[in-house]
Amino acid sequence: MRRRFIAGNWKMFNVQGETRDFFNKFNVLLNDNADVMKAIIDKSIEIALFPPMLSIAPAVESSGNAAISIGAQNCHFEKSGAFTGEVSAPMLADAGCTHVIIGHSERRHIFGEHDAMLNKKTISALEEGLIPVFCVGELLEEREEGKTFEVVERQTVRGLESIDAATVAEKIIIAYEPVWAIGTGKTASKEDAQEVCAFIRKLLTDKYGSGVADRVLILYGGSVKPDNTKAIMSQPDVDGVLVGGASLKPDSFYAIVKEALSEI
């Protein structure tokens, strides 16, 4: 059985002091739950948080002896150079990150990041030992036009271009995040989430074989909350959730972790 992966993307929230406060409270909640700690130790569940860049250092320092993985929300595809304001994968690894989000819908649609660029970012992250959480998903108008599978296929195939099967199996996490369900209060039904996550796994099967596809973690992201986590994660091809606003508060994120644990 694939492990469960619970990720919290803080976006542009939580300065350093707020980050320390979060972990002070969240670590207590985790440590007081023997079942959660056993699942973390057994590697049947993994918890990852993705703070803003300036809060990565206090997050790494406060993450409870690696009980919680820390990642970044973005990286540049070059290792160094004259790219004012950018942060490279080697810098993230040096700061203690283990993961990085690539291709979040806000990066695609606000900052204009295209498939070829995201492929280069993914490869750069992998070269530094970072695990990419590679995001795919359709706009509302694309869904209404019946283009969901077309969009998701293009983003997945182009994003993973030239990455070998062993690396995909071991080092890639894919997150399906329908853009129309992010920060809107709208959530894809559990059937919607399963349909697209199953489609992604079939894409991987067709390209790399079932031995690879069956090992890749596929997440759902989009207005995930404690009260819908269990239903979403009850689906056979949904291995975890990428949480936005509900990950900003220790209590709500902990409630999501507990709901996820109930599905193991």
Q: Which residues are catalytic?
A: 104, 177
Residue 47, both tokens: 């918890």
Q: In this structure, what are the phi and psi dihedrals at residue 134, rounded to the nearest 5 degrees?
A: -90, 120
Cβ distance 241 to 232 under 8 Å?
yes
Cβ distance 16 to 55 under 8 Å?
yes
Cβ distance 90 to 74 under 8 Å?
no
Residue 74, both tokens: 């973005």
Residue 133, both tokens: 């959480």
Residue 55, both tokens: 């809060």
Nearest to 151 by CA among 140, 141, 142: 142
Q: Is 178 helix (H, G, I), strand (E, B) or coil?
A: coil
User: What dihedral angle (degrees, nearest 10) is formed by the CA atoms of 225, 194, 200, 185?
Assistant: -30
Q: How far apart are CA 209 and CA 201, in angstroms?
A: 10
